[in-house]
């Protein structure tokens, strides 16, 4: 069964929040707030259409914020210069070995 897109978005946000936050999610106030918002909007889903669309846009924007921040951090950590390489590393890059290395 295909998952409701709203539920899917909520799950994505929670998974990003879990990666970002340090403590457990249970006492994260933002997590409780988001869950509260989702529940409240669920009950009034049919009545306030505009609010629901706005909510979807907001949820998507926040998800984008969390995800892009994480990916940007991961990429810059991966490619960040780590200072000078050692002689052995440099030699390995061009396929050489040091004189005392086994052949």
Partner 1 sequence: MQVYARLSVSNEVSKMFLKTSFCSVGRALWNKSTVLRPQLPLLNQTVRSVATRKRFYRKTGILHSGSNFEITLDQRKLKTPRGNLFLVDSEPLALAVAAEWDAQKENIVQTSMHLSTLCNTVIDNPNNLNKFDIVQYMLNYIDTDCILFQSGDEDDLYKLQVAEWDPIIQWFCDRFRVDLHKTRNIGGPSVKEETKAVLSKYLMSYNFAALNGFVYGVDTLKSVILTCACVEKVISVEKAVLLSRLEEEFQLGYWGRVEWAHDLSQHDLQARLASTALFIHFNSTSNSIQIKNEMTA
Give the footprint of partner 1 on residues 41-60 (CB under 8 A): 53-54, 57-58, 60
Give the footprint of partner 1 on residues 1-20 (CB under 8 A): 17, 20
Give the footprint of partner 1 on residues 60-89 (CB under 8 A): 60-62, 64-65, 68-69, 71-73, 75-76, 78-83
* Residues 79, 61 contacting (CB under 8 angstroms): no
* # of chain residues touching partner 1 (CB under 8 A): 31
* Residues 73, 79 contacting (CB under 8 angstroms): no
Q: Taking the complex as a whole, how short is the minimal distance between the CB of residue 35 and partner 1, in angstroms?
A: 12
**Rounded distance, CA 12 to CA 64, Å?**
10
Name the 3-class secondary structure at 83: coil
> Which two tokens mark 35?
């869950």
26 binds partner 1 (CB under 8 A): no
**What ranges in the chain are assigned the alpha helix state H?**
5-20, 29-43, 49-79, 87-93
Q: Which residues bind partner 1 (CB under 8 A)?
A: 17, 20-23, 28-30, 33, 53-54, 57-58, 60-62, 64-65, 68-69, 71-73, 75-76, 78-83
């Amino acid at each position: 069964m295909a998952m409701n897109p709203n539920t899917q978005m909520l799950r994505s946000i929670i998974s990003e929040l879990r990666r970002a936050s340090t403590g457990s999610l249970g006492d994260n106030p933002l997590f409780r707030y988001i869950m509260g918002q989702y529940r409240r909007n669920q009950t009034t889903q049919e009545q306030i259409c505009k609010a629901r669309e706005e909510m979807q846009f907001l949820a998507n924007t926040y998800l984008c914020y969390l995800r892009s921040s994480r990916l940007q951090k991961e990429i810059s950590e991966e490619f960040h210069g780590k200072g000078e390489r050692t002689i052995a590393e440099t030699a390995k890059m061009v396929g050489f070995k040091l004189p005392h290395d086994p052949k």
